[in-house]
Structure 1
């Protein structure tokens, strides 16, 4: 089974920025546990910036075991 992944770097950065703001806002409001969840999501998605996409810059082929 083949799966394909593609991402828009601008949209990814905007999403990361929003998650960071949300995490900080929640922490300032004293909602530390929820802020931590958002922070972990931010950290997980941050790794997508390191993904090397195919030569055409549009997609990455992911192979999965079925």
Structure 2
């Protein structure tokens, strides 16, 4: 492979790696928000099921 082409390939790889690192930082920052949202949704589902008397705490016996 010619040297110029190898340099361009390396530059492309470095750019891709930089973009990947940037995306990872964004995902790391969003993860706690998404985990809290999922936990809140799960809690609401449990409350709905309990309200309807389907399992969970407060279910009909």
Give TM class, smaller chain: 0.3 to 0.5
Higher strand share: 1
Greater Rg over alpha carbons, structure: 2
Give TM-score scaled by structure 2 length. Answer: 0.41
